[in-house]
Structure 1
Amino acid sequence: MPLGTPKQRSLLAALALLPGRPVPSDVLVERLWGDSPPEKFRKSLYTYVARLRRLLKSETAGAAALLRTTDSYCLIADPDSIDIHRSRSLLRAADLAVQTGQDDRAVGLYVKALRLWRGEPLAGLRGSWVDSVRAGLKHEQVAALTNYFATQLRLGRHGQVIPELSAATLEHPLDEVIAGQLMVSLYRTSRHADAIGVFHRTKEELAAQLGLDPGPGLRKLYEALLRNDSSLLLRTG
């Protein structure tokens, strides 16, 4: 849908993160403008609300609506129609499947959830609130990825997930958990040198971007690789 200006899109994002829950006008103003709202910020907010209400009415065939309650606004919509809430629902189901020993079922749920993550969260929007939400959403995505990969590795699918893990390390070069999962996958497919190479690339990225060394978990894994530690192999039975 043609969602309008960045501020109008930010308004929709602020409401869509809390479907069915009233969001006070003051909160919306802070999320749209931070500490520097325009002189006529309430008029501007009302304008964005009116435009968004008309848009939802014309484009969603009644599946979503924007209501006003006292000095608050509320997006009425099925949470499963909003990607982030649908993804979270699927991830909760996947985590429960893991806890009950249903790893195959969990993998399918993780895949469905991760397919809902397309591109940059809140793309094209700016502001301290947006930046904070975007960082949190990216953290959720990485957590879902690492849980998915961990489940695949428990199922012995180390060779199958190497392409996905390789792509994930390029997208998240500073994430030591994903790097470690790729190292284990490579080691289990007799690519010992490549596994060592992943450690050194991650170490270089951490030093260049953050001025840090790898954490104890990744260092311990690297030392185990150097020793050809049998504990790195998949245990069966």
Structure 2
Amino acid sequence: MPAHVTTDRPTATALTHQERQVLAAVGCGLRDDEIAAALAIREDTVAEQLARILVRLGLRDRHAAIVHAFDCGLVVPGRGPRTRPVRPAQPTQPAQPTTAVPVAAPRIRISLLGPVRAWRDERPLNLGHLRQRTVLAALALGEGRAFSHKELLDAVWGMEPPVANVVPVYVYRLRKALGVGDGQAPVIERGPRGYQLTSADVDVDVARVRQLVAGVGKAERAGEPLEAVRLCAQALELFRGEPLAGLPGPLAELERLRLTERRIALVQRKVEWQLRLGQDADAIAELFALSAAHPLNEPLAATLMRALHRNGRQVDALTVFERSRRRLADDLGVPPSRVLCQARQMILRVGA
């Protein structure tokens, strides 16, 4: 192939090493606090570096950064970052299953990976109307971080603020709905920096997914592929449809994208291990289902093509390419991206 063909490929060469690591982590759908923990830097440093990345690469927002990370090869579909952040070595422990540490059952459960719902002692709670639920979702996604009054207004209402000062009213109603923790302290507190969800009795499904993903990483490093598949499946079971379904506001729109990307990345991670374990039928069935739900996701279609090819189904793999090409042309008026074309060329090369 002529060298000039690849000159239009997006790159990250203008970035420093740490900025490339931040961009790769953003591409994997990690939040700023997760990136800070992974790279052992401050969360505000992550935000500053992401802002510089957007300016240097001419990207409009975090969504564009996710796409760019895939396009320039910093994130490999189904495998995560090409260069993973180095984590501190863990002390050697006796061999044991890499399952999550069991904890006492929380009194309050909040589910964000679908329609927003909550339970206290397994009884469903009335969380009020959509904007009020969005306030709860913002606090739950913060995992203990305080939100100022202005931050909640911007997150829930965006450029169309409410006509009245409703945030304290919504917080008051949510406090009554959620009840109090064991120490009789409110689940939602207001401190010097704003409102925050503070009770240790609260379990949020998004946080559980993050813990399970950490368990998947441990299983992979320990050479336990079956455990990695099991933990991926356990995390995926927590998704009950579109995350934050029906919620309005800028925060809900952004988090829906991030959480959907995380689900897709989890499926791809699980499928990669299933294929290595010879569980081809299960892997391909899951990829077909997810690809049907996200027909414009090209990395996902490319993963399905490669899985079909590895299973000896070259014709089906090429059919997936043609279907994706037509859908991209009809819906977006664009040709297939490099990731899809490369998967097709690989299949044609091997079949020649």
Q: Same fold (TM over 0.5)?
A: yes
Relative to 1, partners in 2 of residues 1:32 and 1:189: Cα closer, same or farther, differing over 3 Å? closer
Partner of 2:348: 226
Partner of 1:167: 289
CA deviations over 1:153-178 (Å, ceiling 9, x no partner): 22222223221111011011122222
| Partner SS state of residue 188, structure 2 | strand
* Aligned-CA RMSD value: 2.6
Partner of 1:134: 256
Partner of 1:155: 277
Partner of 1:7: 131
Find 2:236's aligned residue among 114, 130, 153: 114
| Equivalent AA in structure 1 for residue 220 of structure 2 | V
Find 1:181's aligned residue among 282, 291, 303: 303
Q: Is the 1:79–1:85 contact (alpha carbons within 8 Å) kept by the matching residues of 2?
A: no
Residue 169 (structure 2) pairs with residue 47 (structure 1): yes
Find 1:89's aligned residue among 180, 202, 211: 211
Larger helix proportion of the pair = 1
Q: Which residues of structure 2 form unaligned runs of 5+?
A: 1-124
Partner of 1:34: 158
CA deviations over 1:117-150 (Å, ceiling 9, x no partner): 1111111211222211211211211111211112
> How far apart are the structure 2 equivalents of 1:102 and 1:211?
44
- Structure number with greater CO (CA < 8 Å, separation at least 6) is 2
Relative to 1, partners in 2 of residues 1:39 and 1:151: Cα closer, same or farther, differing over 3 Å? same
**Percent identity (aligned):** 36
Relative to 1, partners in 2 of residues 1:36 and 1:224: Cα closer, same or farther, differing over 3 Å? closer
| Equivalent AA in structure 1 for residue 249 of structure 2 | G
* Bigger mean CA offset, 185-194 vs 136-145: 185-194
Q: Which residues of structure 1 form unaligned runs of 5+?
A: 231-237
CA deviations over 1:41-92 (Å, ceiling 9, x no partner): 2xx1111111000000079997971112136111124498111110011112
Relative to 1, partners in 2 of residues 1:3 and 1:173: Cα closer, same or farther, differing over 3 Å? same
Shift of 1:200: 0.6
Shift of 1:190: 3.1
TM-score, normalised by the number of residues in structure 1? 0.86
Find 1:16's aligned residue among 123, 140, 147: 140
* Bigger mean CA offset, 53-62 vs 181-190: 53-62
| Equivalent AA in structure 1 for residue 140 of structure 2 | A
| Partner SS state of residue 322, structure 2 | helix
- Number of matched pairs: 228
> How far apart are the structure 2 equivalents of 1:169 and 1:20?
35
